[in-house]
Amino acid sequence: MESRVDTSLKRRLLALPLETPPADAWASIRASIEAPATSRRTRRTPSPWWLALAAGLAAIALLPGTLPPPTAVAPTATVAEAPVNALVQRSQALESEIRSLRAANPALAEAQYQWERAIENDLAVIDVGLAERGPRQAQLWRERVRLLEELKTATQMDAGPMLLQARLD
């Protein structure tokens, strides 16, 4: 059973005049298909100002990575920066030790893997706080060193599920 809409559409389509295509339509379609692909596609070159803008944005994105750390800029460290510098050096030393421990023993048990990932997640949160360069730098560096020492311990020993559960609690 046809609906009213279908019947109305059918009537309107039948009322349309019949059209015949031009006689040379197929020939022009075939000629356009067989034409070389290079003639259809024109090559656009970007404007020089877009290239300059892209180069400027790339330079801005890469600039923070090439700048020396703030402690290297000042030749003499203040009394407040001295403990932070020591914590930064300790953090770098711990990261180096952890890399060498992981290289020596690449196989991990599932519980140890989860334990290390939990510590690394906490380290990522600390790193975000350090990137903000707020007033709590010394406290964040102390926490980072503490977490790296815990990660070193986790890398050195066979961590059982009980240690992982204690860490996650």
Q: Give pLDDT, residue 169.
A: 52
Q: Using only the alpha carbons of the chain, give its radius of gyration.
A: 34
Q: Give pLDDT, residue 77.
A: 47
Q: Whole-model pTM?
A: 0.45
Residue 6 lies in a domain: no
Question: What sign has the CA pseudo-torsion 165, 115, 152, 156?
Answer: positive
Residue 57 lies in a domain: no
Mean pLDDT rounded to a whole number for the chain? 75
Residue 113 lies in a domain: yes
Residue 92 lies in a domain: yes
What digits encode the pLDDT tens for the residues 42-54?
556 555 666 666 7
Residue 52 lies in a domain: no
Q: Give pLDDT, residue 75.
A: 44
Look at the chain and report how many structural domains it folds into: 1
Residue 89 lies in a domain: yes
Which residue range forms the structural domain that includes residue 160?
78-168
Q: Which of 22-26, 113-117, 127-131 is the least confident region? A: 113-117
Name every residue whose Cβ is closer than 8 Å to that of residue 141 and which is 6 or more positions away in sequence. Answer: 84, 87, 88, 91, 130
Residue 109 lies in a domain: yes
What digits encode the pLDDT tens for the residues 63-91?
665 555 555 444 444 445 668 888 889 88
